[in-house]
Chain A
Amino acid sequence: MKKESTVVYFLRLTVTLLLICGIVAAVLAGVNTITKDKIAAIQEQKTLDAIAEVLPGVEGLEEMTLSGDTGIVKSAYASEEGYAVEVAPIGFDGEVTLMVGITSRGEVTGISVISHTETPGLGAVAAAKNQRGEAFRGQFVGQSGSLAVGENVDAISGATITSKAVTEGVNAALAFVAKNFGG
């Protein structure tokens, strides 16, 4: 084989890498187009499931348009009977996204963890579908006003930071409802 010139050598490298990147990008774009709508629908369904869990039997919820800086409140749904507020406080390892259900009288009806990345076996208990997880989430039901770990909330053992984050989220949701609906 005849020795190629420097220009051809660099062109060959660049074009090959460009082609590989181009093909991978094209395939990814294709896969993204196929899956985009499905993933969005699944995400929406998850939010709806979380609302149904914290406000059972409540109908006619409408999403509110949030304006300005709402802090950790991500979205809110209102109806005459109650409100569902999505909050994302910072836990031990990133955001813990929660749905908090609140009655029109300002009492918590339930909380549901939508997504989190807490330590398995410790912070993850807050979201676990087992006895310990349900006991932790259950103690928020019926509470109102302002909550604090150690006073009216028992922390999960070994996961004080996660417990405080969840409490902070519930407080933010209660404050949001009180501010916007005079709760």
Chain B
Amino acid sequence: MNVKKQFEEGLLTKNPVLVQLLGMCSVLAITTSLFNGLGMGISVTIILICSNVLISALRKVIPSQIRIASYIVIIAGFVTIVDLLLQAFLPDLAESLGVFIPLIVVNCIILGRAEAFASKNGVIASALDGLFQGIGYTVALVAMCVIRELLGSGTFGGGLLNGGEGIRIIPEGYPAMQMIMPVGGFLTLGFVVAGFQYYMRRRQSKKKEGVK
């Protein structure tokens, strides 16, 4: 088990959004304000840790031929339990996260990590994998949110700071509303992935030079 390597994989070399390009549907749909990004990121991280742990614990019990069906049942079950508990005991949070919770079931990061990692590794390593992949997902989401919110609504921290309105940076009337519409999601994702790949290339070539 190599915690440092796992951390680096989740955040950089195997970042779920920017490298594996998993879960694009929710990434494009919800990255319109900082609150949405953080909310979705944290929800996915929690579910990812739970499902990774359970699937890793059951990896020797579940026959490989029916593993996908079993994983989906387990993940959907987890998400529904969390959804019901939130609605009953934390109604305010459930209301703000309402749209994200059903999206988590169809988020392929969860199934992807179950298949690629949790089904082959121990419980603790799987929990860490869930945590780091979740952090990587959240960071990518927050980066997209900040860009789209600034260009589209002209604010920072929407839904969180300044009583939910966010701090206004660009005066009203000037922001390009398209940026918080679907087209802005695709544009931002393209530029963020390109920028990230550029950074990773430079990082790699620097490492090579260091070896020489």
Q: Is A65's beta carbon under 8 Å from chain B?
A: no
- Would A121 and B33 count as touching, CB distance under 8 A? yes
- Would B152 and A28 count as touching, CB distance under 8 A? no
- Would B81 and A31 count as touching, CB distance under 8 A? yes
Name the interface residues of A124-158: CB closer than 8 Å to any CB of B.
128-130, 158
- Would A42 and B91 count as touching, CB distance under 8 A? yes
- Would B77 and A121 count as touching, CB distance under 8 A? no
- Would B180 and A121 count as touching, CB distance under 8 A? yes
- Given A129-B164, A158-B177: A17 in contact with B66 (beta carbons within 8 A): yes
Quote the shortest CB–CB distance from A32 to chain B (angstroms): 6
Distance between Cα atoms of A122 and B93 in the complex (Å): 22
Quote the shortest CB–CB distance from B113 to chain A (angstroms): 19
B residues contacting the other copy or chain, number (CB 8 A): 32
- Would A39 and B73 count as touching, CB distance under 8 A? no
Distance between Cα atoms of A183 and B184 in the complex (Å): 47
Quote the shortest CB–CB distance from A34 to chain B (angstroms): 7
Distance between Cα atoms of A20 and B158 in the complex (Å): 41
Quote the shortest CB–CB distance from B79 to chain A (angstroms): 11
Closest residue of A by beta carbon distance from B89: A38
- Would A42 and B87 count as touching, CB distance under 8 A? yes
- Given A16-B66, A17-B70, A158-B177: A35 in contact with B88 (beta carbons within 8 A): yes
- Would B70 and A20 count as touching, CB distance under 8 A? yes
Q: Is B65's beta carbon under 8 Å from chain A?
A: yes
- Given A13-B66, A35-B85, A120-B33: A21 in contact with B73 (beta carbons within 8 A): yes
Q: Is A27's beta carbon under 8 Å from chain B?
A: yes
- Would B152 and A35 count as touching, CB distance under 8 A? no
Quote the shortest CB–CB distance from B3 to chain A (angstroms): 31
Chain B residues whose CB sits within 8 angstroms of the CB of A28 once the complex forms = 77, 80-81
- Would A120 and B36 count as touching, CB distance under 8 A? yes
Interface string of A140-178 (1 = CB under 8 A from B): 000000000000000000100000000000000000000
A residues contacting the other copy or chain, number (CB 8 A): 25
Distance between Cα atoms of A122 and B91 in the complex (Å): 24
Interface string of A49-62 (1 = CB under 8 A from B): 00000000000000
Distance between Cα atoms of A24 and B81 in the complex (Å): 10
Quote the shortest CB–CB distance from A165 to chain B (angstroms): 18
Quote the shortest CB–CB distance from B153 to chain A (angstroms): 5
Chain B residues whose CB sits within 8 angstroms of the CB of A105 once the complex forms = none
Distance between Cα atoms of A89 and B181 in the complex (Å): 23
Q: Looking at the complex, which one of B85, B163, B177 makes contact with A31 (CB distance below 8 Å)?
A: B85
- Would A24 and B73 count as touching, CB distance under 8 A? yes
Name the interface residues of A57-113: CB closer than 8 Å to any CB of B.
none
Chain A residues whose CB sits within 8 angstroms of the CB of B80 once the complex forms = 28, 31
Chain A residues whose CB sits within 8 angstroms of the CB of B180 once the complex forms = 119-122
Contacts from B to A (Cβ < 8 Å): 32-33, 36, 61-63, 65-66, 69-70, 73-74, 76-77, 80-81, 84-85, 87-89, 91, 99, 152-153, 158, 163-165, 177, 180-181
Contacts from A to B (Cβ < 8 Å): 12-13, 16-17, 20-21, 24, 27-28, 31-32, 34-35, 38-39, 42, 117, 119-122, 128-130, 158
A–B Cβ pairs within 8 angstroms, 10 of them: A16-B63, A20-B74, A35-B88, A38-B88, A38-B89, A39-B87, A120-B33, A121-B152, A122-B180, A158-B177
Beyond A12-B63, A24-B76, A27-B77, 14 additional contacts (C-beta under 8 Å) are: A13-B66, A17-B70, A24-B77, A28-B80, A31-B85, A34-B88, A35-B84, A35-B85, A38-B88, A117-B99, A121-B32, A121-B33, A122-B177, A128-B164
Sort A-B residue pairs by CB-CB distance and give the 9 closest, nearest first: A35-B88, A24-B77, A38-B88, A35-B84, A120-B32, A17-B66, A42-B91, A39-B87, A20-B70
